[in-house]
Structure 1
Amino acid sequence: MPIAATELISRAADIVQDVANVRWTVAEWLRWANDAARETIIRRPAARSVTVVLTLLAGAKQGIPANGVELLDVTRNMGADGVTAGRIVRRVDRQLLDDQNPDWHAMRPAGKIKHYTFDERAPKTFYCYPPAVAGTKVEALFSELPPAIAASTDELDMGAEYINVLVHYMVFRAFSKDSEFANGAVAAAHYQAFADAVGINNETTTANSPNQNSV
């Protein structure tokens, strides 16, 4: 269920004791809410994941839509109608394909994908094997950013379970503002709470990567 912008602003304003939004304006809170959403999804891609049918380009190199953040999985082939389910697609290590056939990128294109490879250094890109015939469809799971909220009457399209995470980041930004109300220690505490909640550490930043738990 989407989160009402007023819910985020009121919770943050309560914490900073500015319920009238005098020291920090509604416009600022809205910007920080959008920033909080982006930071959360970048750190934890599954915070807003979508499953869509992708129409592939000709060749091996493919990509997720422009509003996507990171590929999470390519699950199966789909029929030309985009509805009929087809053969599963398995993730493999690119080195395995490279070792077996260094010229696999130049293979004859096919209308059915068997495997895909992924590199966290290029999170919006993946390669399919065999290379695709233009128009081939697959079902993919990826994270994406929600539409930005611009007014207090808007709703942020993220799950309600992330309310506290978002509020911590918003309060961090409020207390980091260069003004007489800035408080570095309190800002740092809220950022740490945000970081702990989304799991910012070496073990969890790639927890949703397709390369985890490989076969």
Structure 2
Amino acid sequence: MATTSAYIIREVQRNLNDLNGDRYPATDVAGFVNRAQRDIHSVRPDVTASNFTFIPVAGAKQALPQEASVLIDVPANAEGNQRRITKVDMEMLDASEPNWRSKQGAIEIKHFMHDQRVPRSFWLYPPAAATGVSVELEASLYPIDITQPTGAASSTATGNISLRDEWATALIFVSTSYAMLTDLEGEANPSLASSYLARAEQLLGVQLQSSAAVAPKN
């Protein structure tokens, strides 16, 4: 069950003691949620992990779909006997079979290679045939911004968040922290913001480097 944007915004407003959205309207909170989604994704790409069918182009070198940010795995062929695809080291394959890239295309893939220095590319062995090939792809997807609410109340928000349900609490905490850091009138806000961010980092198991701009609210 996908977590709704309205739920996230309502919980952020609850943390801010502003359920009516008088000081932190849903239209503003949505911006904090979107920033938080992007920041969480940047340090934990797995929070938007997805498994889908991928149709390779002919040849060995492949490119991630535009909606994907990080390759996680190429688990298996998607058709036929659905043979497992294993990850191998390109240097070892180059050493044992230097001309493997020029091999005739096949409809069943045995191995894949991925170099973190070229994150949006990966290679298949044997090279993929022009037609009849499909593989399972596990990749992290870029988070999609939540739809902009139409009013101050969380109920005016529609749609769902991009992160998987288990990360909803971390998203609420990060979004709350970002909202607090835009309102420095309260002396406790910086301390509370740090507390919420620390709780989120504990849930995520990483340290966040916020891209949220810190500026007083108008």
TM-score class, shorter: 0.7 to 0.9
Structure-2 residue corresponding to 1:198: 204
Q: Note the 1:1-215 alignment, pairs <5 A.
A: 1-79=1-79, 84-135=80-131, 136-150=133-147, 151=149, 152-177=157-182, 179-181=184-186, 183-200=189-206
1:2 and 1:76 mapped to 2: Cα distance? 27
- TM-score norm. by structure 1 comes to 0.80
The alpha carbon displacement at 1:170 in A equals 0.2
- Tell me the alpha carbon deviations over residues 46-101 of structure 1, each in whole angstroms, 9 at most, x when there is no partner: 3232221111012211122211121111111233xxxx443221111222112223
Q: Which segments of 5 or more consecutive residues in structure 1 lack a partner in the other structure?
A: 202-215
Decide whether the 8 Å contact of 2:41 with 2:143 is kept in 1: no
Decide whether the 8 Å contact of 1:75 with 1:139 is kept in 2: yes
The one-letter code matched in structure 2 to 1:115 is: H
The alpha carbon displacement at 1:128 in A equals 0.9
The alpha carbon displacement at 1:166 in A equals 0.4
- TM-score norm. by structure 2 comes to 0.79
- Tell me the alpha carbon deviations over residues 152-173 of structure 1, each in whole angstroms, 9 at most, x when there is no partner: 1322244332221001110121
2:64 and 2:81 mapped to 1: Cα distance? 20
Give the match's secondary structure for 2:76: strand
The one-letter code matched in structure 2 to 1:96 is: M
Residue 143 to residue 172, structure 1, CA distance change in 2 (3 Å): same
Give the match's secondary structure for 1:156: coil
Residue 49 to residue 97, structure 1, CA distance change in 2 (3 Å): same
User: Once structures 1 and 2 are overlaid, which stretch shifts more, 3-12 or 141-150?
Assistant: 141-150
Residue 130 to residue 11, structure 1, CA distance change in 2 (3 Å): same
Decide whether the 8 Å contact of 2:41 with 2:47 is kept in 1: yes
2:69 and 2:186 mapped to 1: Cα distance? 34
The one-letter code matched in structure 2 to 1:75 is: P
The one-letter code matched in structure 1 to 2:140 is: S
2:196 and 2:98 mapped to 1: Cα distance? 50
1:68 and 1:147 mapped to 2: Cα distance? 11
> Which structure's residues are more often strand, by fraction?
1
User: Once structures 1 and 2 are overlaid, which stretch shifts more, 187-196 or 10-19?
Assistant: 187-196
The alpha carbon displacement at 1:186 in A equals 2.5
Q: Which segments of 5 or more consecutive residues in structure 2 lack a partner in the other structure?
A: 150-156, 208-218
The one-letter code matched in structure 1 to 2:195 is: A
User: Once structures 1 and 2 are overlaid, which stretch shifts more, 177-186 or 106-115?
Assistant: 177-186
Identity among equivalent pairs (%): 27
The one-letter code matched in structure 2 to 1:117 is: M
1:54 and 1:63 mapped to 2: Cα distance? 10
2:117 and 2:194 mapped to 1: Cα distance? 29
Give the match's secondary structure for 2:136: strand
Question: How many residues are treated as equivalent by the alignment?
Answer: 197
Give the superposed CA RMSD.
2.2
2:200 and 2:11 mapped to 1: Cα distance? 15
